[in-house]
Amino acid sequence: MEGRDDGGGKVIGLIDKATKSSAQEVDPRLLKAIKSALRYSDSEVRLGAKTLMELMKHNHSQVRLLTLLIIDELFMRSKLFRTLIVDKFDQLLSLSVGFRNSLPLPAPPAVATTLRTKAIEFLEKWNLSFGLHYKEIRLGFDYLKNTLKLKFPDLQATAARRQRERLEREERRKKILRSKFEYLRDGFGVLKGEIEETIKEIKEGLEIVQWRGDDGVPLAILDEEDYEEIRCSHLRQIRMDSLKQSDKVEETSENRVVFDVLREQGKLLMKKHLVSVQDGISLLIRVDVSDNRPEIPC
Any idea which of 6-10, 52-56, 71-75 has the lowest mean pLDDT? 6-10
pLDDT in tens, 166-183: 888 888 888 888 888 888
Q: Which long-range contacts (CB under 8 A, 24 or more apart) does 88-91 make?
A: 88/53, 89/134, 89/136, 89/137, 89/140, 90/136, 90/140, 91/53, 91/56
Query: Is 0.85 surpassed by the pTM of this model?
Result: no
Tell me if 143 sits within 8 A of 89, measured CB to CB: no
Rounded to an integer, what distance in angstroms lies between the CA atom of residue 224 and that of residue 15? 95
Mean pLDDT of 7-29: 92
First to last CA, the chain: 70
Rounded to an integer, what distance in angstroms lies between the CA atom of residue 121 and that of residue 115? 10
Helix, coil or strand: residue 152: coil
* Closest C-alpha among 184, 187, 169 to residue 287: 184
Q: Where are the domains of the chain?
A: 7-153, 165-286
Tell me if 153 sits within 8 A of 121, measured CB to CB: yes
Please check the confidence at residue 295 and state whether its pLDDT lies above 60: no
Mean pLDDT of 156-171: 80
Confidence band of 234 (pLDDT split at 50, 70, 90): very low
- Adjacent-strand bridge partners of 212: 218
Query: What is the CATH code for 7-153?
Result: 1.25.40.90
